[in-house]
Structures are given as structure tokens and as C-alpha cells.
Amino acid sequence: MKENKSNIILKTENLSIGYKTKKKEIVVVSNINVELQQGQLIGLVGANGIGKSTLLRTLIKVQPSLSGSILLNGIDLKQTTTQELAKRLSIVLTEQLTSKNLSVYELVALGRHPYTNWIGNLSQKDTQKVDEAINLVNISELKDKKCFELSDGQLQKVMIARALAQDTDIIVLDEPTTHLDMYHKAYILKLLQRLTKETGKTILFSSHEIDLAIQLCDTMLVMTNDTIICDQPCNLIKKGVFNSLFPKDMIAFDTKTGSFKITQ
Amino acid sequence: MNKSKTYKPQFLLLAFLLILCFFVNISFGSVNIPFKDIFSGLFGTIDNSSWQVIITDFRLPKAITAILVGSGLGISGLLMQTLFRNPLAGPFVLGISSGASLGVALVILGSGLFGGLFAAALTSKWSIVIAASLGSFIILLAVLAVSSRVRDTMAILIIGLMFGSITAAVVSVLSFFSSAEQLQQYIFWGFGSLSNLSWSELLIFAGIYLAGLLLSILSIKGLNSLLLGDNYAKSLGLNLKQNRLIIIIATSLIAGTITAFAGPIAFIGLAIPHLTRQIFTTSNHKILLPAVCIFGAIVMLICDSIAQIPGSDYVLPINAITALVGAPVVIWLLVRQRKMIF
């Protein structure tokens, strides 16, 4: 992968993540060295409590890293202002919206905030980008609905459209498939895959749908207790990485089907 | 922000109602002045000179005060509800009013401690205004400093209430050591009053109000991104700390001066934003801010007209009227809609 270095959107160097309290540092994972290529769909998987959210929160600059650096487009995240970052990285979080009394169009249009004037008026280019995002995610029939009228699956699509409207190189989603039924889990991940193909954006998401991620992702980040492995899904299966993901007393990874089976 | 929906009819209706309420308010009072003379009175061409004085020096400043108070409290309630992500927030709940009360209590009730000549200077209108503004600003900063350490919104509200209790306790201690006269002065301030403002006082009031209004308008964009939550707002490039500070300064300027000039007027700050959201069914601050502004003014003018008790010499405390008239309306609206829009 060394040959196309210019296509690396996000890169970490000896990154160490965790929490700082007054007395000590709690290191969740250290020595993270990953490179995310442009235009790829990247899935981050790992057991509960292993630190997926901590990693994502560090990558989107919501919480500070303990040591090492994160390079976005070759520029250190620490040197990027909030305003600059808003034009390069957009997010979809698991947290509830404060107000669901916005119409879908208004919500997607909020994604244009980094580009609009002091009062947030949309220029012609802004409305064009908003329409583009709404069409890409196929939610034009929801445009005038209020957010509290939407199902979880619809709301997730709207949030993805909002991130698209922000027009950034990379979109980071924290567990976009939680609370969704099996169909919508597949639907959302498939949508993300299509978006990387059609827009050339890099999309990084964390998920517990390992079998779906194996089928759809270009690259996967597998988080285990002490390290993060970054590779293509088929290579990860060959290396047997998924077997080490969970304790073996309950489930085991079946390399033939690419999914987990209950052990007897 | 929303290209498909305009709110022109609603705004036209509100503007019309505002003008209507303004004239109705001016025509009400203990002295009965015919409606046609009100118009000429406003332009200074009335024959009866005592009517002229009543209109230009009493009723007109009072109506303008009502407009500033109603719209200002509505705006500060809206700002607080969005900033604290809580539909129960308002200047009264979060300690602005209790901070102002503490400041005023210190000046009125505590003036005995400073004694003699100094006390006379202290209890002038201006010292009350300054004390109320300072008090509300300090309490709000304290609430915010503590609440920045907790993430739970309910905890923030409880912290605000606790600060309210602390200030109430200090006021009790102060009143224990005060004379009946001072106590009465403080209690009357607590009733709230829209009258007694001279034109020069009104000018200062309006100036500070406009400064607060300007800051509120400047934070419209930030307020809208705060609707998504703090982390989303930050990811949209919003400077959270700076924005928070601007919103708080705007609120304390507006609510602090209102409390200083007109007393701690309950209810309006909490209820007007909710009533407006029910009517306009939006959370977009570009629509809500002007709507809350006009709507608050209308409600305050109506409340003041009722407080006059048309045809009688009595003027009821405005603080009682706002809640007596307004609370049933809010209850009725919420029961009818079965759902609170926030």
C-alpha cells in the first residue's frame, strides 16, 4: 500500500488513546498506526468496551489523544481549528438530537453551516449541495417531514445526508446500525458503500455487524485488547484475526461463511 | 433556511395584533380617555392638556416598557432553553431572577448596614438597576461554571434551583434584620411594575435591551447548530465556549435589566417560547427569535391591560397577572396538542 501515499486521508502515528484523570492516565489502546485510503469504506469492529468509541472520539477531536499524532490530509489534527476541521470531517453520532422539531430539509441544511454567512443563509451553491445530499440518500419524499415523525432507520439516513451536505473528505459514523432491524442494518451499510463509490469520500464507521462489514468494507480495523489490525477483510479472515475477537466459550468464527456460529 | 415554507401570514397577523394591543393598552387606565383622542394624544395634538400628560408621560412609556419586557423575557427564555437543552429552562429557573433579587435585596435591605447618607445614594433607581444586573450575571456565571462539569441536563436545572435557594436564604437573613419600610420596598419591587419609568430611564433600558438583542441575533446560527447537540455543533465549526458566553451575556443583559427596571416577572420567559413553538411549529431560531419577540410583547401588553382593571383606580401586580392569565393558556395548549414541541 506504500505506493499510493498521496491517497491517504487519515493516518495515525504511534497514537495512544484513553482518559486522563488528575492522578493517572488510563490507556485504552496504545501504538495505533493505521492509514485510511481515500474513497474506501472502512469498518471498525471489536468487542463491547474495547475502546471503539474512544478511538472514534479521538479521531474526530471530541477527546484529546494521550500521545502520538493524527494526520488528516497530512495536517496534524492538533493544529487544525474547529472551523477548518468542519470542512474536512463530518460525523454521525449515536447521541439523540436535542430538538427533533426541525424539518428534514432544515436538518440537512444545518450541514452547510461551515460555509454559510453569519446568520446561516443558504447560497445557491449551498441549496444545490443540500439537494444533492438528499438525492444521494434517497430521502426526497421525507424532505418536509419533521424529525420526530421519522423512524430510526429514516432518521439515520437523514443524519447521513446531513454529513454529506457538509461536503467533507471523510465521514465518521459511530455505530450507525444500532437500533435498526436486520434489513435496515444491511440497507445503511450498503448505502455507505455506494456513497464511497459515487462520491469518492472516505467513510469510517464502527459496528457490531461483523458479517455485514466483512462483505461490504474495503478495509477493516479490528480492535483487540492490545492492538488494532488494519487490513482487507479477506486477509483478516486468512490470518484468523476474527477468531481472537471474542472468548471462545460461546461463539466461534466460521471462515467458510464469514460469520460467527454458536459453539456447542 | 427552509425554502418551501414561509411564515409571512403568521408574522403579518402578529404585527397587526401587536399594533392593536398597543393602542388598546394605551387607551386603558384609571382616567377614561376616548379612543379617538388617544391618537391625537400620541401625536401631541390633543386639546386637553392633562390627558396629554397622562398619555405622553405615563401610558406611552408604560406601553413601551411592556413591549421591551415581554419581548426581552421571551428572547432570554428561548436562549436559555436552547443553550441548556431543556424545555423547563428560563431566566427564572436558572437563577437570573434570583440573582437579581439578591442584588436588589443587598441594596434595599442591606443599605441600613452602610448607614445614613450613603444609604440614600444606594437606594436610588440606578443602584438597584446595577445591583440587579450584576447579581443576575454573577449567579448565571456560577450556574454555568458548575454545569460545565456535569453533562446531565437535569443536574444543571437542579444546580440552578439550588443557587436560587441559596440566594433566597440570603434574602431571608437580610430581611430578618431590615426595617418594615425597607421590607415593603423590597416586596413591592418583587411584585413587578411596568410603570414609573421616566423617558431617560426608558432610554437606558432600551439601549441595554438592544445590545442584548443584537448579541442574540448574532448567535442565531450558533443556536441553530446547538439544536443538534454540543458535539454536532462543534463538528459544524461552532466555537462552543465563545458562543455559550455570548448567549449568557445576552441573556443576563436582557433579563437582568428587565428584572432591574420592572422587577422579577415570572412565567413570560418560560411560556412564550413554548407558545410560539406551538404556533409556528418550528425550532429554527431565524423564525423563532423574531416571533418570540413580537409574541412576548403582545402577551405583556395584554397582561398589563388586564392589570389596569379598566374603569377602576386599582392596578394589580403585573407578576400575578402574567401567571394567572398565561398558565391556563399553556396548560390548555399542551393538553390540546398532547405533545410538547421542543
The pLDDT value given to residue A110:
95
B283 touches chain A (CB under 8 A): yes
Q: Band of the pLDDT at B337, cuts 50, 70, 90?
A: low
Q: Band of the pLDDT at B2, cuts 50, 70, 90?
A: very low
Q: Which residue in A100, A204, A193 sits closest to A145, CA to CA?
A: A100
Gap between the Cα atoms of A164 and A176, Å rounded: 14
Mutation target vs A (from B1, B78, B221, B243; most A CBs, 10 A cutoff): B1
- DSSP 3-state assignment of B62? helix
Q: Which residue in B244, B250, B269, B265 sits closest to B208, CA to CA?
A: B250
Strand partners of residue A172: A91, A204
How close B163 gets to chain A, by Cα (Å)?
Answer: 25
C-beta of residue A40 within 8 angstroms of C-beta of residue A201: no
Chain A residues in contact with B281 (beta carbon < 8 A) = 101, 146
* Domains annotated on chain B, with CATH: 49-337 (1.10.3470.10)
First to last CA, chain A: 40
Cell digits for B299? Answer: 402577551
A89 touches chain B (CB under 8 A): yes
B222 CB-near residues (< 8 Å, 6+ apart): B233, B238, B243, B246, B247
Q: Which residue in A157, A151, A154, A105 sits closest to A136, CA to CA?
A: A157
What confidence tens digit (pLDDT) does each residue in B116-132 have? 555 555 557 777 778 88
A124 touches chain B (CB under 8 A): no
* pLDDT block averages, 10 residues each, chain A of length 264: 66 93 88 93 93 94 92 93 94 90 93 93 95 96 92 94 96 94 95 95 95 95 90 92 86 86 82
Gap between the Cα atoms of B249 and B215, Å rounded: 8
Q: Which residue in B279, B289, B277, B283 sits closest to B229, CA to CA?
A: B283
A145 touches chain B (CB under 8 A): no
A22 CB-near residues (< 8 Å, 6+ apart): none
B239 touches chain A (CB under 8 A): yes
How close A69 gets to chain B, by Cα (Å)?
Answer: 19
Chain A residues in contact with B341 (beta carbon < 8 A) = 101
The b/e string for A196-230 (b: 16+ C-beta within 10 A; e otherwise) is beebebbbbbbbebbebbbebbbbbbbbeeeebeb
Chain B residues in contact with A147 (beta carbon < 8 A) = none
Which one is predicted more confidently, B270 or B299? B299
The pLDDT value given to residue B114:
60
CB-CB under 8 Å, A144 with B4: yes
Chain A residues in contact with B227 (beta carbon < 8 A) = 97-99, 102, 110
Chain A residues in contact with B231 (beta carbon < 8 A) = 62, 91, 93, 95
CB-CB under 8 Å, A166 with B236: yes
How many helices (H) and strands (E) are present in chain A, helices listed first? 8, 13
CATH number of A1-88+171-177+196-264: 3.40.50.300
β pairing state of A35-37 and A8-20: antiparallel
- DSSP 3-state assignment of B69? helix
Maximum CA extent, chain A: 62
What confidence tens digit (pLDDT) does each residue in B229-270 have? 889 999 999 998 888 888 888 888 898 889 888 888 878 888
A85 touches chain B (CB under 8 A): yes
Gap between the Cα atoms of A191 and A153, Å rounded: 12
Q: How many CB atoms lie within 10 A of CB B30?
A: 14
Is the ipTM above a cut-off of 0.90?
yes
Gap between the Cα atoms of B127 and B200, Å rounded: 15
How close A138 gets to chain B, by Cα (Å)?
Answer: 19
B238 touches chain A (CB under 8 A): yes
Sole residue written with cell 438597576? B129
CA A200 to each of CA A3, A30, A81, A126, B212: distance values in angstroms, whole numbers, following the listed order: 19, 30, 24, 19, 45
Gap between the Cα atoms of A207 and A176, Å rounded: 7
β pairing state of A219-223 and A228-231: antiparallel
The b/e string for A30-51 (b: 16+ C-beta within 10 A; e otherwise) is eebebbbbbebbbbbbbeeebb
Of A87, A102, A119, the CB nearest to B220: A119
CB-CB under 8 Å, B235 with A113: no
Amino acid at A66: L
What confidence tens digit (pLDDT) does each residue in B138-195 have? 887 887 787 677 766 667 778 888 888 898 899 889 888 888 888 888 888 888 888 8
Cell digits for A227? Answer: 492492538
Chain B residues in contact with A120 (beta carbon < 8 A) = 1, 220-221, 224, 286
Amino acid at B89: A
Q: Which residue in B97, B337, B306, B328 sits closest to B194, CA to CA?
A: B306
Q: Band of the pLDDT at B226, cuts 50, 70, 90?
A: very high
The pLDDT value given to residue B342:
65
Cell digits for A203? Answer: 467513510
What confidence tens digit (pLDDT) does each residue in B61-116 have? 999 999 999 999 999 999 988 988 877 788 766 677 888 888 888 888 877 666 55
Average pLDDT, chain B: 84
Phi, psi of B48 (to 5 degrees): -75, 110
Chain B residues in contact with A101 (beta carbon < 8 A) = 277, 281-283, 341-342
Q: How many CB atoms lie within 10 A of CB B208?
A: 20
Mutation target vs A (from B235, B241, B288, B341; most A CBs, 10 A cutoff): B235
CB-CB under 8 Å, A110 with B225: yes
C-beta of residue B28 within 8 angstroms of C-beta of residue B310: yes
Burial class (CB in 10 A: 0-12, 13-18, 19+), B50: exposed
Gap between the Cα atoms of B302 and B272, Å rounded: 13
CB-CB under 8 Å, B218 with A99: no
Of B3, B5, B284, the CB nearest to A102: B284
Q: Which residue in B321, B282, B303, B233 sits closest to B5, CA to CA?
A: B282
CB-CB under 8 Å, A101 with B2: no
Domain ranges of chain A: 1-88+171-177+196-264, 90-167
Q: Which residue in B259, B104, B266, B117 sits closest to B186, CA to CA?
A: B104
CA B284 to each of CA A120, B294, B307: distance values in angstroms, whole numbers, following the listed order: 11, 16, 33
The pLDDT value given to residue A220:
96
Q: Which helix (H) or strand (E) holds A125?
A: helix A124-136
A113 touches chain B (CB under 8 A): yes
A109 touches chain B (CB under 8 A): yes
Gap between the Cα atoms of B95 and B164, Å rounded: 5
The pLDDT value given to residue A259:
86
Chain B residues in contact with A113 (beta carbon < 8 A) = 221, 224-225, 236-238
